[in-house]
Structure 1
Amino acid sequence: MTASGQGSTGNVIAALCSFFIPGLGQLVQGRWIRAAVMFVLAGLLWLVLMGWVVHLWSIIDAAMYRAP
């Protein structure tokens, strides 16, 4: 799935995916490295109760992504 631009249906779906699992939206968009970074950072930071920061970053990043 490729998103055509910011606010597109693909980006909204990716943002919803990231809402449930950080990095899943980036994975849906085909951005494997960014997805892994988001998932690992959120997992590590949730251990010290700061994972919500990366979780929100993941959602916003997926929603605002512009395909090259």
Structure 2
Amino acid sequence: MSEGQGSSGNVLAAICSFFIPGLGQLVQGRVFKALIMFVLAAVLWVIWLGWIIHLWSIVDAAMYRRD
């Protein structure tokens, strides 16, 4: 079974990103992307726009395809 879009691994990653932006990307082994998501969300939450990055992090983790 391939670990593609919609796989149980991606669902778990999306759930992780729901709680902490970037955690799903970290679970998938994408450290740099995880750091970007986490830092952007943290910075933007200061001006109440962090929810945009938070949602992007969830969707990105759910739709990731390992090439």
| TM-score bucket of the superposed structures, by smaller chain | over 0.9
Shift of 1:42: 0.1
Written as runs of structure 1 = structure 2, the 5 A alignment for 1:1-68 is 4-68=3-67
Instruction: Note the alpha carbon deviations across 1:11-62, whole angstroms, 9 max, x for none.
Output: 0000000000000000000000000000000000000000000000000000
In structure 2, list runs of 5 or more residues that go unmatched. Answer: none
In structure 1, list runs of 5 or more residues that go unmatched. Answer: none
How many residues in Structure 1 have an aligned counterpart in Structure 2?
A: 66
TM normalised by structure 1 equals: 0.95
Provide the aligned C-alpha RMSD in A.
Answer: 0.9
Structure 1: 4+ residue segments shifted above 3 A: none
